[in-house]
Chain A
Amino acid sequence: MKQKIRIGCGAGFSGDRIEPAVVLAEKGKLDYLVLECLAERTIGLAQKRKMMDATKGYDPLLEKRITTLLPHLVKNNTRLITNMGAANPIEAAKKIIAIATGHQIQIKVAAITGDDVLSVIEASQSSITDLENNKPLSEYNIISANAYLGAAPIVDALAAGAQIIITGRVADPSLFLAPMIHEFGWATDNYNLMGKGTVTGHLLECAGQITGGYFADGVKKIVDNLDTLGHPFADVFADGTAVIGKVEGTGGVINLQTAKEQLLYEVMNPHEYITPDVIADFTTVYLEEIGKDMVHVSGGSGAAKPASYKASIGYKAFYLGEGEISYAGAAAYERAQLAAEIIEKRLQPFFSDIRIDFIGVQSMHKTTFSNTSEPYEVRLRVAAKAQTAEAAALVGEEVEALYTNGPAGGGGARKYVNEVIGIASTLIDRNLIVPQVKIFES
């Protein structure tokens, strides 16, 4: 058993930058690289792509990421764990094998499935309700249903000798906890260790968010060289403590402030952070700066894992129609308000819910907390929901028509129509879910 492993996180969302992952793979001296690429709605969109083409439905950047990273991973003997499989881990694994074969690289890839619970949901949806609104799932136009799997199937894949593990929906911290269980031989009912590993996983899972990304403000939180922002790694020890760091020479910063912000990020209850592996307690965590860009993580604890898996349901919600137009100079705000009055009257017969924002005045917080003087320019934004794309298009068309049918001096009109995939959550009995590991070799 090892006493220390190094795990890097080279992506915190599907669209994340690739360069920091390459730097980690090349110079990070990593044992493991994790790429977390699956936000709540990402898998619903992937399911839609899979429905159109059965060989698709994995992360659109998979080919680019794997092609770039694979030579470094092989050279440095670094194993990759990623949820880039999205709605189709099997096809993703085949794609990786094809890339490896093309580079004449021998590799063992494990695809983890079993998270897709659409059939389970469909079989019993009248009796299952969503967690937030308590509405029966039968009332949703469901396109995807995926349970958050835990670390267990990844641990199995590591034990089987896979160098790349590609998953669909897995709880983000579990992607990191799995190699700790595998390398340190942690008992999975040692919930304090599961809690500690989950804390470290949570600190890493958003990649650049702990190295100064989404942090700097240019005034009080000064971060150097954000353009070359490095992504983090953790040296994790067999006792569950860890040191967060990054590759020397990369931009950004790791300090108490970045670590605290990330520890509390998206946490519903710091006493009970629920994953399929453990109910972790973040209030027992201690953080300490022990050097430049080095934060020591200790404490952390946990209680027994929950009885159910959480599943995230993607459904077709509506089509969003949007239009924007700008006004500048004298009476800019007054002209934008006049345009808003006109557009509201024109759209009201067709839409039940219309939102009008004055960008530059109050679009983000519904109000202004500070007294500011009249803005020089204001951008009007109009948004409404519709059942079809055609109906939604009317919003942008009417905003564009403000050119010749609205106030003076409007400019820069833009119009958009987008299908919105909604997400609901529910709980599923553990016994109904059977994670599977399938091995592919080049």
Chain B
Amino acid sequence: MKLFEIAHSRAGDKGNTLMLSLIPYNEANYIMLCKTVTAQKVRDHLKEIVQGEVIRYELPNIASLLFVCYNALSGGVTTSLALDTHGKSLSYALLEMEIE
């Protein structure tokens, strides 16, 4: 099953840093996402894109996770030659992740 089936996400950027929220539609799935979608798993999944560290923040009050990915935007809006310099479409790259 893809994350897309059970969760939604929005990407944000600051310089060369990418932030990806991960929000289960059903808050009951939050604990499962905490167990399954580790920072390392996100780092591996986005290995073509994220060159630096991935830090995961847990927000139990709103049953959501936030992944902050460093060195992830080809130098950032400034130096990137990519079409999507902000990495705005990368929320859907995260949601492509297969989980059991």
Chain A interface (Cβ within 8 Å of chain B)? 40-41, 131-132, 214-215, 220-221, 256-257, 260-271, 282-287, 299, 317, 320, 353-355, 357, 359, 363-367, 369-370, 381, 383-385, 420, 422-425
Q: A312 to B68: give the CA distance in the assembly, Å.
A: 21
Q: A265-B10, A359-B83 are in contact. List 12 more A-B contacts (CB 8 A).
A: A132-B16, A260-B64, A266-B12, A267-B12, A283-B57, A284-B61, A285-B61, A357-B82, A364-B93, A365-B93, A367-B48, A425-B15
- The reply to whether B61 and A286 form a contact with Cβ atoms under 8 Å apart is yes
Query: For residue B62, which residues in chain A have a CB less than 8 angstroms away from its CB?
Result: 256, 260, 263, 285-287
Q: A85 to B62: give the CA distance in the assembly, Å.
A: 36
Select which of A220, A271, A299, A363 is within 8 A of B83 by beta carbon. A363
- The reply to whether A283 and B61 form a contact with Cβ atoms under 8 Å apart is yes
Q: For residue B4, which residue of chain A has the nearest CB?
A: A220
Select which of A261, A282, A354 is within 8 A of B23 by beta carbon. A261
- The reply to whether B49 and A269 form a contact with Cβ atoms under 8 Å apart is no
Query: For residue A366, which residues in chain B have a CB less than 8 angstroms away from its CB?
Result: 48-49
Q: What are 11 contact pairs spanning A and B, CB under 8 A?
A: A132-B15, A221-B8, A256-B62, A257-B23, A264-B19, A266-B12, A270-B66, A283-B61, A286-B61, A365-B48, A381-B83
Query: For residue A282, which residues in chain B have a CB less than 8 angstroms away from its CB?
Result: 59
Q: A355 to B84: give the CA distance in the assembly, Å.
A: 13
What are the interface flags for B64-100 relative to A under an 8 Å C-beta threshold, 1 for contact and 0 otherwise?
1010100000001111011110000110010011000
User: Which B21-59 residues have a C-beta within 8 angstroms of A?
Assistant: 21, 23, 25, 48-49, 57, 59
Query: For residue A425, which residues in chain B have a CB less than 8 angstroms away from its CB?
Result: 15
Min C-beta distance of A81 to chain B, whole Å: 23
Select which of A40, A264, A287 is within 8 A of B66 by beta carbon. A264
Q: For residue A132, which residue of chain B has the nearest CB?
A: B15
Min C-beta distance of A40 to chain B, whole Å: 7
- The reply to whether B8 and A270 form a contact with Cβ atoms under 8 Å apart is no
Query: For residue B84, which residues in chain A have a CB less than 8 angstroms away from its CB?
Result: 364
Q: For residue B85, which residue of chain A has the nearest CB?
A: A420
- The reply to whether B8 and A261 form a contact with Cβ atoms under 8 Å apart is yes
- The reply to whether A365 and B8 form a contact with Cβ atoms under 8 Å apart is no
Q: For residue A214, which residue of chain B has the nearest CB?
A: B10
- The reply to whether A260 and B77 form a contact with Cβ atoms under 8 Å apart is no
Q: A58 to B94: give the CA distance in the assembly, Å.
A: 38
Min C-beta distance of A234 to chain B, whole Å: 17
Min C-beta distance of B16 to chain A, whole Å: 6
Given A265-B10, A366-B49, A369-B96, A384:B81 Cβ within 8 A:
yes
